[in-house]
Each structure stands twice: as structure tokens, then as C-alpha cells.
Structure 1
Amino acid sequence: MRHLFLVIILISLNIVAFAQTPTPKNIKEEMKRVADWQIEHFDQCYSNPKNPHHPLAWHNGALYVGMVKWAAMADDNSYWEWMKNIGEKYNWQLHERKYHADDHTVGQMYIELYRKYGDKEMITPTIKQFDYIMYHPAQSKLNWKTPYNQDRWSWCDALFMSPPVWAKLYKVTSEKKYLQFMMDEFKATTDFLFDKKESLYYRDESYIGELDHGTKIFWGRGNGWVFAGLANILEELDPSTKEYKYFLKIYKKMAKRLIEIQTPQGHWAMSLLGQEFYPTPETSGSSFFTFGLAWGINNGILDAETYKDPVMKAWNAMVSYITDDGMLGYVQPVGAAPGKAWPDKTEVYGTGAFLSAGSEVYKLVGGK
């Protein structure tokens, strides 16, 4: 009887373990639900309904980064067409501010559409603007209170927004000038904001030396921006180059730290070192971490034995925060620091992060 009881327990544990490993089919179903819900509600803003985001603003630019990854695996050309229509409507222009990294984000979508359709018009305005920036580089300092500091990458979010555009442009044009500019600016920001002891980035200079409940302040989504940006940059570079090795070193340091500070529930706290003070789930930063870690395993950079379980745990947590109608909940509103999130509030960049995560978790569990 005792033997039979142990067998039942072991079977039950195996069933639970199996249930926690999603199938490629399950992952695509969840991604489709979230993508379709977001497109249906695209003109709405859940942080501030009275002020919806411009289609070219960074909020939507981050959505498109994930939507491109979903479109590539969706077996449905309508997602590509949806993004293509946006580009055509705005004549393939970047957003308003010439130097500001946020307003470059949509360029990532343009370059992916160019790769699919081969129409040079899709990237010509980006090339023209980036050439101007290179030949008229911003002279401002990275210090947060100096004038025009955001004409450079003076806050960590910027490392997701603009550098991957430069890396992609380098890849599609073979013009090394784009890579060199990106390297110089990325290094400057990293030297300024990266905490070598914690292997995490401060959001900007104003958080360096500040404490929250006695812990250093490393914003969850801020570091999510960086980590996802690193994966998207590495994807464009030749692994044999010194540039690739530079980014890889930072990526590995962050990856190691991230699995050390993952919450028992599977997400990451809004203040990465302050789990007990920020127990509320947050799905945008956590989805970016999930994407970056899964990408590393899939590309043979991270050891699956060490990193796969944290990725699966994180993905299952993200899926558990999707509402019945397909909305990804617990996305922290627009901000610059740890804050609050709610189960019934979302944001487009959270959807983009989730779709990015799904695209790599799908491969990790055998999806083709």
C-alpha cells in the first residue's frame, strides 16, 4: 500500500511538471490571443485613455518589435500587412525628435519590413536621419540634469530603443559606420550607468547612490529594456567580432544576475533587489527578461540546464496574467522607476515584450 501511495505521488508530481512545460501549440495560441486583442484595442491607451500614443511613438515601437517576431511565425500575413500599413501612412518616417532614442524605436519595424518586402523606400528616411546624426553628433553630456542630455543615450531605456536600429542598419547596408557609432554611444552609456557589482543598470544618473528601503534602485523594466536590447543587437552581429564579444560579456553578466533575483512566483520585481517591498507582478520587464534568457539558450550562449527552468517558470507566470479576452495584465504604466501595476491594466509595450518572449520560448520547446 505504501509503495502504491508513493507511485501515485510521483505520478502526480510528473503531471504537474508536465503541465508547467508548454507545447509550441499552446504558446502560439497565447501569443495569438494577446496579439489579436492588442490590434483590436490599438487606438486605446490603458495608462491614460485621454491621451493615446502616437503610432510612431516608442510605446508602439516596442509593440512592433514583438509583433514582427510574432508575424514571422504566425502563418498569417495580415500581421505584416497591419504593420506595413502604418509605415505607409507615415511615409516611413521616424517619430518627431531627431536625436531622441525613443523616437528611433519604430525604425526596428521598418528594417524588418524591408527585409521581408525588399522595398528600399521603407528604410530611406531612417538612413537619411541617422547619417545626419552621425555627421552632426550631439555634444551634450550624459549627466541627467545637463541640457539636451537626452539627445544621447543618457537613460537605460534608450539602449532598447535606438541601438538595435543602428545594428540592423549596419547589417542590411554593410556600412560599418553605423556599427561604430552605435558602439561608441553604447559604451559611453554603459560606463556611466552599469553597476559592475550588481551587473545591472541604473535607470539614469539620478538613481545612482539612491536607496529604496535600503536597497539600490534598479528598475525592473529599465533593465528589461537593456537585456532585450542586447539580445536584439547580438542577433545582428557576427559572433567572431570584437563588437559581438563586447555585448556578449554584458549580456552574460546580466543573465547570471537575473536568475539569482527572480521571484519565487516567476516574475521579476519592479525594484529588482527589493522583492519584499514590491510584491506585485510586473509583466513588461519580466517578459523582456524571459525573451532575453530564452534567446540565449536557443543560441547556445546560456546553459539550458541552468537557465531553462527559470525561463519556463517566467513564461508560465506571464501566461497566468492574461485575461480571458486576451489582455496581458500587470503591465506597469509609463514611468521611470519602481511603482505599481494592476491585473486589469496593460500597455502596448507590455504586449510587445510578451510577443518577443513567446517567439523564443516557442523555439525552446521545439517549435519550428
Structure 2
Amino acid sequence: MAGTALASAQVPLQEKSAPPASPAAPHVPLGGSSLTEWPAGYDPKQLGTALAAHFQSTSHLRPTRIIYPEVCAWYGALEVARVTGNKELIAALQARFEPLFTTENALLPPRGQHVDFSMFGSLPFELYILTSDKRYLDLGLSYADAQWASPDAQGLTPETRYWVDDMFMITIVQVQAYRATQDAKYLNRAAKEMVSYLDKLQQPNGLFFHAPDVPYYWGRGNGWFAVGMTEMLRELPKGTPERARIEQGYHTMMASLLRYQAGDGSWRQLIDREDAWPESSGTGMFAYALISGVRHGWLDAAQYAPAARKAWLALAGYIDQDSNVTSVCEGTNKLNDLDYYLLRKRRTGDFHGQSPAMWTVAALLREA
């Protein structure tokens, strides 16, 4: 995402290791299409709870401002706590937020200035949904409404810049506002924005350029769009004109992802290049989109469930014994240069990778 320096918060790179042993289902095979039965060491509830607890034990990513990677991980930890019914973890994650109303108020990002700042609003909405505390609703709405305070002639937010990342960053705030209020204006904003980005960035092969002037299929960038479309489809009513367009974009992308998925279930830093390294954050985001599609019936289970299962198995294999996700692409700006993408540093414990691992656990464990 845009120019975020994360080096100070990184855990030193570690060798990839097998997931921790689990006593559950030791004889379940790796193959197949089940999204509910897992071999020992791959149980999503166990791994997700460990990932969420690990996040809770960390300090703020930056001492001066809450930034989007921490928001994404915080949101993921809350989703894991929600789907597992872990009230103690929800309370701890809520307590982490409480100082932002008082002693840590200066850490709140500015409103209505940049997509990276505005997406913070998705977090208080999640806490409102879980607790019904109106303070969270009011805070979330201050971000969602500031984002659309002066829309352009097409009804798009001034934060529109046509970077592939934005299709989670912008839309999740508005989708969460809809989930918290049931006011359709928020969903309509997000849908209109997403269709504009689909028309601008999606290529005939179903994948997305990083930006109109950067013709590379960056893995995590495409992952942001895959997750953004998934969240839209979870909420947008059938029959809505924008839904048909988003479904088309989603299906075209998912078909392309099947073609580029590696034998171990992962995807690469540049999706279409075999000389690019396997990367975990994009793999996690694609796993989330595929699993959600199968679970909701948007994707044919016979065709996509095996790929969704392989994607989770690959993602779980990137989680080390300390609940850190390995082989995560570092924070990435846009640049029209092949080596810029091929030579991105691999991080361990980076929130860009921790977040989609927790989102995927939630997708596997939630009822729908």
C-alpha cells in the first residue's frame, strides 16, 4: 500500500516451518475438497485463535498514528473472536481500543484526506456491531461520511486514485457503515466505486494491473480487489445493477486464479510470472475469496472447493511456531518496473500477512 514504512515493526525473517501439531483429525488427508475437515496442524480455529491472540499482544505499529495494516489485523482478530465466540478475546481487543477515546486520541488518523487513513473507520464499526456501544458508531460514521463529503460528478469519493489496493481500502469503510446502520446509501457508494475500478483496472484475463500506468499483476494488490469484491457480494442485494457487474468481475478473476495457482496451493508475488516468488499475503486473500465463494454458492463447489482447500493448506503452511506469517511482501508503492516487484523484501510477522490469515479463518468458520 502507499508508501508505508514497516521496517521498524518487522520480526526478523525466519525459515518457513510446518504448522504446530494439533491433536484434531490426525488422519484427514491433505487432498480433497472439504472445507471443514483438516489434518493435524491445519485446524483453522486453533491457528486463528493463536494469530488473534498474537496480534493482541503486540504494541501499535507506529507510536504516532494508527495505520491501515494494524487496522486490518485488528479487524481480523475481532472477526476470529466473533466466529469462535471468544468473549474474552473480544473484551481484550475492545480494551486495546479504549485509549483511542481518551489518552491515545492523537493516534487517530485524519478524516477525509487519504484512503489509507479513512479505512480506519471500518474498525469502530466492527466494535459497534459487536458491542452496540454508540461511541464506536459515531466514530466510524465520522470517517465514512468524510470520505464522501465532496463526491465528484460520477458520485465517486475524492480519494479515488485507481490503485488496485483501494478496492478493499475504500469499500470496506462503506460496507461496514452499511452493516452497522443498514442505510443503503453506504452500500451504493461502495458499489459505484467498485464498478468504476473494475472498468479501469481489470484486464481480459481477469486479473488487475496495479494502476493504469503500472501493467503488473501484483499478488497482494490483486488480493485486495478479490477481498473487496467478496465483501461487496456478501452484502449487495441480488438484482442490484452493480451486483451483476461485480459478480462478472469476481467470476472472471476467480477463473484466472485457478489457472495460476501453484501445485502447493499458493500464488506468486507477480501472479503470472514463474520467476516470481510464492507470496503469503496474496495467497491468503485469494484463499478468503475462494472459500467465501464456495461457502456462499457463488462458485461451483466441484470446480473451486479443491482449490480453496489447497489455498488454506498453503496459507497455514506459512504460519510459523510463533504465530507469525512468513514470506509476506513488504509494503509496496506502485512503480512501472519489473524488478521493483520481483525484488520486494520478504517479511515475517508483517500485518499485511497476519490480516488475511485471520480473515480466511473467519471465512472457514462463519456460517455464511
- TM-score w.r.t. the length of structure 2 is 0.79
Matched ranges for 1:331-346 at <5 A:
331-336=328-333, 338-340=341-343, 345-346=348-349
Q: Aligned-pair distance for 1:238?
A: 2.0
1:3-60 Cα shifts (integer Å, max 9, x gaps): xxxxxxxxxx9956479951698221111222222332344x6xxxxxx476631111
1:239-281 Cα shifts (integer Å, max 9, x gaps): 343333332221111111111111122110110110x211x32
Aligned to 2:126: 112
Aligned to 1:166: 174
Give the total of aligned pairs.
328
Q: Secondary structure at the match of 1:263?
A: coil
Match status 1:204 vs 2:215: no
1:26 counterpart letter in structure 2: D
Contact 2:49 2:81 in 1 (8 A): no
Matched ranges for 1:30-179 at <5 A:
30-43=47-60, 52=62, 56-91=66-101, 95-137=109-151, 151-179=159-187
Q: Aligned-pair distance for 1:107?
A: 1.9
1:56-101 Cα shifts (integer Å, max 9, x gaps): 3111121123212201123322332233234332239962252322
2:190 counterpart letter in structure 1: M
Contact 1:153 1:159 in 2 (8 A): no
Cα distance in 2 between the residues matched to 1:352 and 1:289: 13
Cα distance in 2 between the residues matched to 1:26 and 1:16: 12
Q: Secondary structure at the match of 2:236?
A: coil
Aligned to 1:186: 194
> Pick from 347, 356, 359: which aligns with 1:356?
359
Q: Aligned-pair distance for 1:121?
A: 1.8
Contact 1:160 1:225 in 2 (8 A): yes
Match status 1:233 vs 2:232: yes
1:354 counterpart letter in structure 2: A
Structure 2 unmatched ranges of 5 or more: 1-26, 335-340
Aligned to 2:282: 285
Aligned to 1:8: none
Greater Cα shift, 246-255 or 341-350: 341-350
Aligned to 2:38: 22
1:104-124 Cα shifts (integer Å, max 9, x gaps): 222222112111211222121
Cα distance in 1 between the residues matched to 2:303 and 2:63: 39
Greater Cα shift, 334-343 or 225-234: 334-343
More RCO (CA 8 Å, sep 6+): 2
Q: Aligned-pair distance for 1:138?
A: 5.7
1:234 counterpart letter in structure 2: L
Aligned sequence identity (%): 22
Aligned to 2:320: 323
Of structures 1 and 2, the larger Rg is shown by 1
Contact 1:332 1:346 in 2 (8 A): no
Contact 1:322 1:329 in 2 (8 A): yes
- TM-score w.r.t. the length of structure 1 is 0.79
Would the alpha carbon gap of residues 98 and 16 (structure 1) be closer, same or farther in structure 2, given more than 3 Å must change? closer
Contact 1:284 1:332 in 2 (8 A): yes
Q: Aligned-pair distance for 1:319?
A: 1.4
1:351 counterpart letter in structure 2: Q
Two-structure CA RMSD over aligned residues (Å): 3.1
Aligned to 1:257: 256
Greater Cα shift, 314-323 or 91-100: 91-100
Q: Secondary structure at the match of 2:83?
A: coil
Cα distance in 1 between the residues matched to 2:109 and 2:123: 13
Greater Cα shift, 342-351 or 99-108: 342-351
Greater Cα shift, 236-245 or 264-273: 236-245
Q: Aligned-pair distance for 1:334?
A: 0.6
Q: Secondary structure at the match of 2:43?
A: helix
Aligned to 1:268: 267
